[in-house]
Structure 1
Amino acid sequence: MLNNFDEISSDIDLFLENCDSLIILGIGNDIRGDDGLGPYIINQLAILKDYILNKSNQNDNNQEINKNGLENKDNEFEFFDNANDINTGNTPLDEGLDSYMNELNVDVNESLIERLDKTFLINGGSVPENFTGLIKKLDPSHIIMVDASLMKRQAGEINIVNKDNIVDISISTHSMSLAYLIKYLQLEKEYKILFIGIEPEIMDLSFELSDNVKESSDMLIKLLFDKIIAY
């Protein structure tokens, strides 16, 4: 299931070369089983990010700067409490990630804080097109999209798809295809975009991820966070 993990790690490294600012957009319906993996990944990344920032005495000032900066760009988005971590609620860190968080040993310096401040985590839910205006205003250099994707592979398998080939991937439940979403975003700017899909197993009405998909999602969370604190 995860025998391609080293290749995925290398592909993400290559993608993030010369990254100045990053948006990770999680997509999916979190009441439809494995389709909720995108929101789950965003929520867990947000908790890990806050954990690192809370280790810094500059945390409160940085969050206020980010909030004010977004409000100054456009008052339309004032209802977001934190421009860095736009999610659906205060989901606790999953038990499977506790040990990873406790073992994180990073030098919380100005460079890392600046990098985290330029990493925006957005839960796009099943209507990611609603966030295109915000994405354009945040104006990242790189965008990573994560979603459950029907690729006719083993449940839980992770696959990276180039934005030019994304039209060949069957996306789960959201209303606008990602191919059209990407085309719309790039009407004004040629964003660097990477899509990461995970093969779902269960798409029925449920708040739980299947075991295989959750295992893969947790591994991807750790991998992405490792990249966030290093790029």
Structure 2
Amino acid sequence: MQNLKTQLQKKLEGVDRLGILGIGSDLRGDDAVGLWVAKALGRKSKTAGPVEIRAFLGHTAPESLTGEIKKFRPTHLLIVDAISMDRAPGEARLFDAQDISEGISFSTHRMPLKILASYLCQSFPCSITVLGIQPQVTDFGKKPSRTVQAGARTVCRMIREILRVR
């Protein structure tokens, strides 16, 4: 996780306005991990010192929030989603928006993140990073796993630490 923290520090360098776009379905267990992270960080925004944070809950249609995100005009946008990456449940990994490959399986949203990120990049200058968290359970009607919830809490703690240091 220390490597992830170092990568996040580099990605969030120079951040003034941080948008956090949480993606996923509340009805599919760990698929909602992006929503949990966005809600948690949006609630704690006062701990971020000079950084203005706004959480956007994209659920399964994140493209519907592009107008709100553009109005906020973040310097950095962190898109958080459950991503099947053949890793341990709860493990997180960063992706550059442009480097998202077809071999990575995203959650239940309709529009591919690569297209969404490309559109947002063309709309205004912004550093966009995707934070993927490996889900364990994504079946309809299932409860979230403790392992992935713990991974989400770790990611939130890490981001708060980075923003306070700034």
Distance in 2 (CA, whole Å) between partners of 1:11 and 1:214 is 21
Decide whether the 8 Å contact of 1:42 with 1:123 is kept in 2: yes
Classify 1:46/1:188 alpha carbon distance in 2 versus 1 (closer, same or farther; 3 Å).
Answer: closer
Match of 2:44 in 1: 48
1:30-109 correspondence to structure 2 within 5 Å: 30-49=26-45, 52=47
Distance in 1 (CA, whole Å) between partners of 2:83 and 2:21 is 14
**1:112-170 Cα shifts (integer Å, max 9, x gaps):** 2x42xx21111111111011011111111111111000112222221111122113421
2:67 to 101, 111, 133: 133
Q: Secondary structure at the match of 1:155?
A: coil
Is the counterpart of residue 166 in structure 1 residue 162 in structure 2? no
1:194 to 125, 129, 136: 129
Is the counterpart of residue 14 in structure 1 residue 10 in structure 2? yes
Which amino acid in 2 is paired with 1:179?
Answer: K
Decide whether the 8 Å contact of 2:21 with 2:56 is kept in 1: yes
Decide whether the 8 Å contact of 2:75 with 2:125 is kept in 1: no
What RMSD, in angstroms, separates the aligned Cα atoms of the two structures?
A: 1.8
Is the counterpart of residue 182 in structure 1 residue 122 in structure 2? no
Contiguous gaps of at least 5 residues in structure 2: none
TM-score normalised by the chain length of structure 1: 0.66
Contiguous gaps of at least 5 residues in structure 1: 53-110
Q: How far is the alpha carbon of 1:198 from its aligned partner?
A: 0.7
Aligned identity (percent) is 31
Q: Secondary structure at the match of 1:167?
A: coil
Distance in 1 (CA, whole Å) between partners of 2:142 and 2:42 is 19
Q: Which has the larger radius of gyration?
A: 1
Distance in 2 (CA, whole Å) between partners of 1:185 and 1:38 is 18
Q: How far is the alpha carbon of 1:186 from its aligned partner?
A: 1.9
Distance in 1 (CA, whole Å) between partners of 2:14 and 2:150 is 30
User: How many positions carry a matched residue from both structures?
Assistant: 165
Distance in 2 (CA, whole Å) between partners of 1:193 and 1:46 is 18
Match of 2:83 in 1: 149
Distance in 2 (CA, whole Å) between partners of 1:24 and 1:228 is 13
Classify 1:35/1:18 alpha carbon distance in 2 versus 1 (closer, same or farther; 3 Å).
Answer: same
Distance in 2 (CA, whole Å) between partners of 1:221 and 1:194 is 15
